[in-house]
């Protein structure tokens, strides 16, 4: 129910004086700002009528940064100081950022911009190089565990060895948050100017993020908005925003898949639309898969055809040339949306590329006229013809990758592709015919393309923003968004096992609590390790944060009750608290890791959770036996230290031998690592069980003796009459 604002006669504010809220799509390639007035959303243009703002920022030695179209035009002339695709770096540590393969000088945050040191994933250090796309044309990813793990202390400070990333420019090292803030400032100012309102009349903004952005990436986006002077009303997932725009515009009901392929990220969300309720059933995605990767494949193919070198080396030694190739490739990809053939021309000396479509004027990437670079500069002009058929062959692995992710989202919703009522395409990259054809074939129905894929996300965000401040069109009913968290969240327990607190695809916001206890007598502190993933063991999941709960009153093992609470807010950000119930002693942490999930890590986590389910359960069973056996051995040791005098030499030796045998098997189980044969796991588990049962058997008489002694001590000095009175 909306609240009415009541004014005295003659004091009703003019329309331009009313508070408004905006929606912002902070994209990898382009960004937009939109507003919903009287229930009608619209993307806001600049003074020249352009609605798309290139997500490009140029830094200068003196003067303010240049953002948008002007910065984009300077990408070749001032390559080292022009930053694009910064969204791929949000919330990432240095090692992860380098693996993205962007043609940027990446440095550790805080390093001297004049002589910055670049640390690679393998630990080597070098002077700054322009990092380019890897040889295969798609972002590389290192094996899980190669990147240094960053942990977060209870006060939120970073304790790990993977530093945050920055980009070296002539104006100094700038963080991805700062770069994104410059883009957001321009969008904010555009909204203020177009709407003719002052800052006080701008209630805030809803900003969209990829559904598979993790905590660090979401927090970085929020920080950028605050740095830009924006009040963040909510972060909303991009596919969800698109579904809102589509659902409210078309009045559709049913189950829909939102296929969102942008410049640098890819998401698929399955939503159920029912009378104003937008309920996310599942989500899947890749935060490093988008139009940039399609461009890189074209550029890689061109470079190899003309023996220009492998992309990684080319980008390091000739960064301006590689960036020009990427820009030419993007032009070619976009032209092939309508054309069947594109001719690409590249001047090697001038570092200028151009494309030519039959019957059309040429497009020079550097701003000149197509095909004239060799005449003006005397360099060799390399020419290639790219057909749509050849392009589709090049990008087929990427297309297949998107469909595989889509299958994961659909399966997680408990559906089949054929059970989906409709597919909505979102993101500029979905204009490619190869994508539209593949999606139509995969789902057995043509996708919906009636809404502008570049604007639909921003429009949905604007609708959400208007609703959050109590504005809606006349006669419009209330509507509700129910989003989900993409991966399971849990804690490490004894034996390196994971106790899942929040399963993946749980609706947010939510809070869940679970009680835990101590492992040892007199334990006064508990280390709490928060992890993310679908596997049963901590070693196979991603570490998010660690903190400690201190001040637990000394008690026997198992007596303390520690309640751990997980809270995920509407923005998808996680906080964890722990409280000892009897004393109220508490500790908490807001999870802000400095790294982001790697390119293929989420897909790996989900796939391994299925393929390794049997192995995981066997490992979990083994670890549980280990814990029980270790507890029994420790209890026996404590009992022997206290009452060992009750035993004769033979009995004591029998117990000592049983304890030694149990310890030997415990050590054997502890050394198991990797992926041993199933038979090996089962054999160790059985030996551990036998050793534990043997120790229990040989200590039965000892337990009886201790019980008798305890009764005798309790009855000492007592009479029968005294006991019965």
The residues annotated as belonging to the active site are 25, 87, 238, 260
Beta strand pairing call for 232-237 and 254-261: unpaired
563 - beta bridge partners?
515, 579
3-state secondary structure 101-123: CCCECEEECCCCCCCCCEECCCC
Whose CA is closest to 211, among 416, 457, 423? Answer: 457
**Residue carrying the six token digits 């080396």:** 313
Contact 60, 156 (CB under 8 A): no
Q: In angstroms, what CA-CA distances link 656 with 22, 502, 633, 647?
A: 73, 44, 10, 12
The one-character DSSP state at 571 is T
Question: What does the alpha-carbon distance between residue 2 and residue 567 come to, in Å, rounded to a whole number?
Answer: 28
The one-character DSSP state at 44 is P
Question: What does the alpha-carbon distance between residue 243 and residue 446 come to, in Å, rounded to a whole number?
Answer: 17
CA angle 267, 271, 274 (to 5 degrees): 160
Beta strand pairing call for 254-261 and 422-426: parallel
The CB density around residue 691, as the number of other CB atoms within 10 Å, is 23
Q: How many Å is the maximal CA-CA distance in the chain?
A: 120
509: preceding bond cis by omega (within 30 degrees): yes
Whose CA is closest to 335, among 353, 368, 362, 302? Answer: 362
Q: In angstroms, what CA-CA distances link 135 with 139, 140, 380, 514?
A: 9, 9, 24, 47
CA angle 463, 508, 32 (to 5 degrees): 30
Beta strand pairing call for 202-209 and 20-25: parallel
Whose CA is closest to 557, among 637, 491, 631? Answer: 631
Question: What does the alpha-carbon distance between residue 256 and residue 445 come to, in Å, rounded to a whole number?
Answer: 12
The tokens describing 553, both together, are 């009153």
* Backbone torsions φ then ψ of 280, nearest 5 degrees: -75, 125
Whose CA is closest to 531, among 613, 597, 625, 620? Answer: 597
The one-character DSSP state at 681 is H
Q: Three-state DSSP class for 395?
A: helix
Q: Can you say whether the dihedral through the CA atoms of 56, 61, 65, 69 is positive or negative? A: negative
Whose CA is closest to 31, among 293, 249, 263, 327? Answer: 263
In this structure, the chain runs to a length of: 725
**Residue carrying the six token digits 């989420």:** 602
**Residue carrying the six token digits 């608290």:** 577
Which contacts (CB < 8 Å, 24+ apart) does range 359-368 have?
A: 363/331, 363/335, 365/76, 365/324, 365/327, 365/328, 365/331, 366/76, 366/77, 366/324, 367/73
Question: What does the alpha-carbon distance between residue 182 and residue 55 come to, in Å, rounded to a whole number?
Answer: 9
Whose CA is closest to 279, among 270, 290, 271, 287? Answer: 271
515 - beta bridge partners?
563
**Residue carrying the six token digits 């059970």:** 419
Q: Left, alpha or beta for 368 (phi > 0: left; psi -120 to 50: alpha)?
A: beta
The tokens describing 605, both together, are 């986590």
DSSP codes joined into one string, 420-485: -SEEEEESGGGGSHHHHHHHHHHHTSPPB--S-TTTHHHHHHHHHHHHHTT---TTPPP-EEEEEE
3-state secondary structure 133-167: CCCCCCCCCCCCCCCCCCCECCCCCECCCCCEEEE
């Amino acid at each position: 129910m909306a609240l009415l604002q009541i004014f005295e006669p003659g004091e009703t504010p003019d329309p331009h004086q009313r508070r408004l809220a905006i929606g912002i799509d902070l994209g990898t390639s382009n960004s937009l700002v939109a507003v919903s007035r009287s229930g009608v959303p619209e993307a806001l243009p600049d003074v020249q009528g352009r609605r798309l703002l290139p997500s490009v920022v140029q830094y200068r030695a003196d003067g303010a940064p240049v953002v948008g179209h002007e910065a984009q035009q300077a990408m070749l002339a001032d390559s080292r100081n022009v930053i694009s695709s910064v969204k791929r770096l949000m919330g990432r540590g240095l090692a992860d950022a380098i693996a993205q393969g962007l043609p940027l000088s990446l440095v550790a945050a805080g390093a001297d911009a004049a002589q910055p040191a670049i640390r690679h994933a393998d630990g080597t250090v070098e002077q700054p190089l322009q990092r380019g796309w890897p040889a295969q044309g798609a972002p590389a990813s290192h094996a899980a565990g190669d990147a240094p793990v960053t942990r977060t202390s209870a006060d939120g400070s970073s304790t790990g060895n993977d530093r945050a990333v920055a980009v070296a420019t002539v104006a100094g090292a700038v963080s991805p948050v700062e770069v994104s803030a410059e883009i957001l400032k321009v969008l904010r100012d555009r909204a203020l100017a177009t709407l003719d309102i002052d800052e006080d009349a701008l209630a805030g903004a809803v900003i969209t993020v990829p559904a598979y952005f993790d905590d660090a990436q979401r927090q970085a986006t929020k920080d950028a908005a605050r740095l830009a002077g924006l009040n963040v009303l909510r972060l909303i997932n991009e596919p969800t925003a698109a579904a809102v725009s589509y659902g409210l515009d078309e009045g559709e009901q049913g189950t829909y898949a939102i296929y969102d392929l942008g410049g640098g990220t890819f998401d698929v969300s399955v939503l159920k639309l029912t009378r104003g309720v937008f309920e996310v059933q599942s989500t899947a995605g890749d935060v490093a898969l988008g139009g940039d990767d399609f461009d890189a494949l074209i550029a890689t193919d061109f470079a190899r055809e003309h023996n220009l070198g492998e992309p990684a080396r080319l980008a390091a030694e000739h960064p301006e040339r590689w960036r020009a190739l990427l820009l030419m490739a993007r032009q070619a990809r976009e032209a092939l949306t309508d054309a069947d053939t594109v001719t690409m021309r590249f001047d090697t000396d001038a570092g200028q590329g151009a494309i030519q479509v039959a019957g059309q004027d040429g497009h020079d990437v550097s701003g000149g006229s197509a095909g004239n670079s060799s005449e003006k500069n005397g360099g060799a002009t390399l020419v290639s013809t790219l057909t749509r058929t050849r392009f589709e062959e090049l990008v087929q692995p990427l297309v297949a990758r998107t469909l595989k992710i889509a299958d994961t989202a659909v399966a997680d919703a408990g559906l089949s592709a054929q059970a989906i009522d409709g597919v909505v395409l979102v993101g500029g990259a979905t204009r490619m015919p190869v994508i539209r054809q593949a999606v139509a074939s995969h789902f057995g129905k043509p996708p919906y393309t009636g809404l502008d894929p570049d604007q639909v996300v921003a429009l949905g965000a604007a609708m959400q923003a208007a609703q959050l401040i109590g504005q809606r069109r006349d006669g419009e009913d209330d509507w509700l968004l129910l989003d989900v968290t993409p991966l399971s969240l849990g804690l490490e327990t004894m034996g390196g096992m994971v106790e899942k607190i929040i399963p993946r695809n749980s609706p947010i916001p939510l809070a869940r609590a679970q009680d835990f206890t101590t492992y040892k007598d007199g334990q006064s502190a508990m280390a709490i390790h928060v992890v993310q993933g679908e596997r049963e063991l901590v070693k196979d999941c991603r570490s998010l944060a660690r903190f400690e709960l201190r001040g637990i009153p000394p008690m026997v093992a198992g007596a303390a009750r520690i309640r751990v609470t997980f809270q995920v807010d509407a923005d998808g950000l996680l906080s964890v608290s722990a409280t000892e119930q009897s004393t109220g002693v508490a500790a908490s942490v807001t999870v802000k890791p400095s790294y982001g999930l790697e390119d293929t890590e989420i897909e790996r986590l989900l796939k391994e959770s299925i393929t390794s389910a049997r192995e995981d359960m066997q490992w979990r069973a083994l670890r549980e036996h280990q814990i029980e056996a270790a507890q029994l051995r420790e209890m026996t040791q404590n009992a022997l230290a206290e009452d060992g005098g009750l035993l004769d030499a033979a009995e004591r030796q029998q117990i000592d031998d049983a304890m030694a045998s149990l310890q030997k098997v415990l050590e054997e189980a502890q050394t198991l690592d990797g992926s041993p044969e199933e038979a090996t796991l089962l054999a160790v588990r059985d030996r551990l069980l036998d050793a534990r049962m043997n120790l229990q058997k040989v200590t039965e008489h000892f337990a009886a003796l201790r019980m008798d002694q305890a009764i005798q001590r309790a009855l000492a000095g007592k009479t029968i009459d005294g006991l019965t009175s």
